Amino acid sequence: MCASLLAVPAAAQQKPGSKLKIVVVGAHPDDPESGCGGTMARYASLGHEVVALYLTRGETGIAGKGPQETAAIRTREAEKACKILGARPLFAGQVNGSTEVNRARYEQFYAILAPEEPDIVFAHWPIDTHPDHRVASLLAYQAWHTAKKKFQLYYFEVMSGAQSENFAPTTYIDITSVGDKKREACYAHQSQDPDSFWVYHDAMQKFRGFECRAKQAEAFVRYARTGNPELPLVD
C-alpha cells in the first residue's frame, strides 16, 4: 500500500507540530521535480520545509547556448519550479557534465548540506546511466556518513529503464492529489523540452501507483541503516 508520507523522525515526534526539513538532491534542474516533485509538494503542503539542492545549474543543457546563458536560463526555470512545489532552490556549485567525486567535492557538498540540518534527504538512486546522477548520489551518501547518520536517506528514480536501473522500491508515496502540480513544475523547465521526459515519468508514476493501489505514486528505496526499520506514517 502507498504511504501517505514518510516518517517523522523520533526527535520531531517528541514535539507535536514540529516542522521537518526535507532536502532533495538532484544533479540538474528538473531532476528533483521529475523524480520527487509529488512528494516535495505533499510535504510543503503540510507546512514542512522543502529544499531542492541542485548539484549543477545545467550549464551544458541547451544546444547552441553557452554555459553562462544556459545556467541563467535553467536557474530561473528551477526557481519557478520550486515556487510551484513550495520548495526553496539551493545550488551546490558543480558543472553539468563535469561533476566530480573527490575529497574536496565531498567537503564542499557537506558544507552546503550540513547547515540545512535535514531530517530526510532524498537523492538519486546510484545505479544510473547518467554520470552526474551517480555523482549526486555518492555525495549525498558520503554526507550521511559525515553527519554521523543523523538524517534518513531515501533514493528516488528518474526515467527508470532509460536512466535509473535495477530500482526495486521499498516505499511508495501516493501523489494523486498533487499530480497536476508536479506536472506544472516539470513543465517549468521549458528549455529541456518537457514533453520528451514527462511521458516517461507520467507512465512511471501511474505504474508505481498501480503497484501500491493508487492512481499515481512515487517510489523510493530506503537506505536500510537509516531510521527505524518500519516508518510510522504522517497523515
92-142 confidence digits (pLDDT tens): 999 999 999 999 999 999 999 999 999 999 999 999 999 999 999 999 999
Helix (H, G, I), strand (E, B) or coil at 220: strand
Report which of residues 5 and 183 the model is more confident about.
183
Whether pLDDT at 152 is above 50: yes
The pLDDT of residue 141 is: 97
The pLDDT of residue 8 is: 46
Residue 3 forms part of a structural domain: no
- Please state the rounded mean pLDDT for residues 83-89: 98
Distance CA 23, CA 153 (A): 10
Residue-wise DSSP of 116-163 = G--SEEEEE-SSBSSHHHHHHHHHHHHHHHHTTT-SEEEEE-SSTTTS
CA distance readout (Å), 34 to 27, 39, 81, 162: 12, 10, 10, 14
Residue 228 forms part of a structural domain: no
- Please state the rounded mean pLDDT for residues 36-61: 96
The pLDDT of residue 232 is: 37
Whether pLDDT at 210 is above 90: yes
The pLDDT of residue 18 is: 78
Residue 6 forms part of a structural domain: no
Helix (H, G, I), strand (E, B) or coil at 204: helix
Whether pLDDT at 10 is above 50: no
- Could you give the number of structural domains in the chain? 1
Would you place residue 17 in the very low, low, confident or very high pLDDT band (cuts 50, 70, 90)?
low
Report which of residues 154 and 233 the model is more confident about.
154
- Please state the rounded mean pLDDT for residues 178-190: 97
Whether pLDDT at 174 is above 70: yes
The pLDDT of residue 61 is: 80
The pLDDT of residue 2 is: 73
Q: Where are the alpha helices (DSSP H) in the chain?
A: 10-13, 31-45, 67-85, 103-113, 131-146, 179-187, 194-211
Whether pLDDT at 231 is above 50: no
User: What's the grid cell of residue 94?
Assistant: 558543480
CATH of the domain at 72: 3.40.50.10320
The pLDDT of residue 80 is: 98
The pLDDT of residue 16 is: 52
Residue 230 forms part of a structural domain: no
Residue 127 forms part of a structural domain: yes
Whether pLDDT at 59 is above 50: yes
Residue 234 forms part of a structural domain: no
Q: How many CB atoms lie within 10 A of CB 162?
A: 12
Residue 32 forms part of a structural domain: yes
Domain extent, residue 180, equals 21-222
Of 58-72, 102-116, 170-184, the poorest mean pLDDT is in 58-72
Distance CA 24, CA 58 (A): 16
Would you place residue 233 in the very low, low, confident or very high pLDDT band (cuts 50, 70, 90)?
very low
Residue 9 forms part of a structural domain: no
Secondary element (H or E) of residue 217: strand 217-222
Distance CA 22, CA 222 (A): 15
